[in-house]
Structure 1
Amino acid sequence: MGTAMITYKSSSLTENQKYLDDYIDGIAIPYDDFLEEHILNSAIFSIFFKGEHIGFFGKNEKMLTIFFVRDAYFYKANEVFAEIKTQFDIHEAFVPTTDIGFLSVVLEKYESIAIQALHFTATNAMVRPAEFPREHFRIANEHDVQAVEQLAGDFLDKYPERIKHQQIYVLEENGELIGLGVMIGNVIMRNCVGTGMFTKDSRRGEGVGRSIILHLKAIVHEQGKIPVPGCWYYNTNSRKTLESAGYISKSKLLRFQF
């Protein structure tokens, strides 16, 4: 598929590992598991120019989720991108602002742009201690499934599976489940762990979410890894919680429409 000089081949991230490594090296600020999930659920295609493997891209239905062309052939990136949009019926793209190559191409021609989410990184800023101590925070087990589902509802999916894989933590007070934390190991962003939290409605404003974020950050650091929380752009409360826990957002996930 493609023109005589530019062609595409159905492949996988593994088949593009060398260029995936180059792509990762170019991401200055890691993104969380939300974008990774979209990429991992995408159909991956290798890009060839005159038979030479020059990059790859991923599409999830009509959305482009990842796009990479090696520097030696980046002068062809706009042409390749325009052709991909036409041949693969692409109408949208998720682009993290930290991916300057993809961003530079998409910015040249689009119909609309919106901020989808914020990516956060930890700082060395001194912050006040967690309002709820670490000893009240633990990994959820199979006996917690019903209580976790009742607390969080559609905040997540596959609760039994996530609990089995130790992705969910719970914060308790006097036997009451007042919040939960989420830790999901990143696949693409090396040595990173996506983190998140959910607070019981009746306990909001007490530092529950902030305590969870601080405890998750400590746990991830103890594992020698990097915590990468994120939140929906319009979730002001989550943003304030993360910032109060010493995180800042210098990268955003953009949603382009063509």
Structure 2
Amino acid sequence: MQTTTYVPGAPNWLDLGSPDTGASAAFYSAVFGWELRSAGPEAGDYGFFLRDGRTVAGLGPLTEAGASPSWTVYFHTPDADATAKAVEQGGGRVRVAPADVFSFGRMAAFTDPTGADFAVWQPRETGGLEVVGVPDSLSWVELYTTDAEAAKAFYRSVFSWQMNDVAMSPELTYTVLSPAAAGAEAAHGGLMQLPQENLDAGSTPEWHPYFEVSDCDATVGRAREAGATVIIPTTEAEGIGRFAMFLDPAGAPFAVITTAKD
């Protein structure tokens, strides 16, 4: 369960890289009711998505050569430089070296050995997102990978995550991820092997967010109307909830879920 009591290894920031930030702001406003607040010209046109005046995500232009529109998941680290060394030792790549973001914190961006991008945030003045785990905010993160065993070994070496394999079917195992400093009840994400049919269709390794919503079906309707492409239609998962997955109009993947009540 996502909370704003961030511990090392837990997701603590999220932002969208977009080729058209104005269009992206309009889309997510239509889907979730978010408002966008600019961080000012000195921040390179970066801004913050707000829910009831509190930060739920960031938004900025694409800055890396060849980058595709995508959501970037950031994980809490007490030492971004040490994490960068661990990434390299684990076979990953440092895409953006650790650097201070004004006085707010320190960040770095990486690619894991299977090709999925992610980042870390070392808090200073800004601890992380101001709201998670409630409707229209981040509730879960998920990794699609081409090599689940290699990915598990890598992230265990970098973040010391606890991992619990759950057999979803004879062909599919889903690995539930939890911070090392918390129990399974603090699980924050999942990891799964991309099936061959997804690979044949062009899927590549990537992290994507799930946003909690109060009504999955209504959200799917708004997303479609605003220009999203549905890639996983509304699905009921017993004991988990009702979810769906999209590509936003620029092509960034994300998912929504109405979590099952206890």
Q: What TM-score, normalized by structure 2, do the two folds share?
A: 0.28
The structure with the largest alpha-carbon Rg is 1
Q: What TM-score, normalized by structure 1, do the two folds share?
A: 0.28
More helix by share: 1
Bigger relative contact order (CA 8 A; separation at least 6): 1
